[in-house]
Amino acid sequence: MKALAHLTVGDISGTIATCYCGKLLADYGARVFNFEPDQGFITRRIKPFIPDTEQSAMHGYLNTNKMSVTGATPSDWEHVDLILYDQTVTTIDEKKLKTNTSAISWFGKTGPYAQFKGSDAMIQSLIGQLRGIGPPEGPPIIPTGYQAQIVGGLTAYVGSLGHLLGNSLKATEELFHLDTSIFESNMCLTDPSILHAVDQMDIPPRLGINRFAPTYPLGVFPCKDGWLGVTVLSPPQWEAFCKLLDLKQLSDTPLFHASMERLEAADIIEPMILEKLSQCSAEDLFYRGQKARIPLARVPTMDELFKVDQYRIRNAFSQASQAGRKYEVPTVPFRLFKTPPHFGGSVTDLGQDTATWKQASKDTT
């Protein structure tokens, strides 16, 4: 029995954020119906596509273990416990809808930005996350992907599940209508900057690649055969890191025992670190660093990603089945052990479950 097997959920907008929220619910057993228009959700047209097909792998990742229904009407939506939607994509009247709703959009349903269209890069820029990424000269480096929308979907999942759980504990159930702003959800990533703003402190400058105050070294550095994530803060970590790389002369320098002092001297220290790293295996340093209690992380290439032993042991990836193909996708990022999630799953074709939905809705009336 899955943890959320008692829940039925409908997604009527099909954005990355609503689909990710629905994915988390579906992976823990909720029956999630995608109420799609005739042309399908917009996620079906997001690259990359599965080779030799016109089917989106991104859509597949977001929609394993869900059902696809076409031709549904607003009256159909009332047969589910929760409706996920984006009011900038789908217009509904919550007051007339006799079920719970969870709206997820770039800037929420109210406020000066409510009707604005956003993007992941825009959100990352507005929350100040881009400012510190990249070389000091020129524009910052803009990350690719859909991180901001994923955070929004996760936030809506937490809020929706909390309300559904609360209702299940009450003697009388009250309908709720949640409103999740992707912009506001991502503010959780900027808590130090908020303190700077409250105290009217100067905005920290962009220091360069792998230069982030107050920690140095901090970043992803190239090795002989790959990349290594390094976080060295305390004096014991610094001494162990220098010993690992045979850089005793750096650990013997009292000035470099303080992290900010190392950052200010990065132009002197970093060439020495890079030279040593270029002679070493990233995997070897990772395991040796673990024994020395140094916060290091092996950063695999895309070719290596699915072969990393700890990822395989932890089931970090599982297989999605779509269009007669199987491919690796990330699994749910948190685990319940007595009621574990689905690992991977199949992706239904557009409208494949319409008949199943019609029969299910008849059975509930």
Residue partners of 287: CB distance under 8 A and separation at least 6: none
The string of pLDDT tens digits covering residues 263-288 is 999 999 999 999 999 999 999 999 99
The rounded mean pLDDT for the chain is 92
Cα–chain center distance at 111: 25
pLDDT of residue 329: 95
Q: How large is the average pLDDT for residues 238-267?
A: 95
Our measurement of the distance from residue 169's CA atom to the centroid of its chain's CA atoms, rounded to an integer in Å, reads: 30
pTM of the predicted structure, to 2 decimals:
0.92
Instruction: Identify which of 273, 126, 136 has the alpha carbon closest to the alpha carbon of residue 212.
Output: 136
Position 360 pLDDT exceeds 90: no
| DSSP strand pairing (227-231 vs 67-70) | unpaired
- Asked if 222 and 175 count as a contact pair (C-beta separation under 8 A), the reply is no
The alpha carbon of 256 is separated from its chain's Cα centroid by a whole number of angstroms, namely 36
Q: Which residue has the higher pLDDT, 360 or 289?
A: 289
Q: What is the average pLDDT across 157-177? A: 89
**How far apart are the C-alpha atoms of 109 and 181, rounded to whole Å?**
8
The beta-strand segments (E) located in the chain are 8-11, 31-36, 67-70, 82-85, 100-105, 177-181, 218-222, 227-231, 296-299, 317-322, 325-330, 345-346
Closest alpha carbon to 315 in 341, 294, 353 = 341
Q: H or E segment at 158? A: helix 147-168
- The single-letter code of the amino acid at 363 is D
Which 3 state secondary structure label does DSSP give 219? strand
CA 164, CA 8: separation in Å to the nearest integer?
A: 11
The average pLDDT across 282-307 equals 92
2-50 pLDDT per residue, tens: 999 999 999 999 999 999 999 999 999 999 999 999 999 999 999 999 9
> What pLDDT, on the 0 to 100 scale, is given for residue 364?
63
Asked if the model's pLDDT at residue 133 lies above 90, the reply is no
- DSSP letter at 76? H
Residues paired with residue 104 on neighbouring β-strands, in sequence order: 180
- Of residues 305, 293, 296, the one with CA closest to residue 330: 305
86: confidence class by pLDDT, cuts 50, 70, 90: very high
Q: Is 140 exposed, middle or buried (0-12, 13-18, 19+ CB in 10 A)?
A: middle
- Report the percent of the chain where pLDDT is more than 90: 75
Work out the average pLDDT over 136-163.
94
Mind giving me the DSSP string for 22-53? HHHHHHTT-EEEEEE-TT--GGGGPSPBPTTS
d(CA 88, CA 183): 14
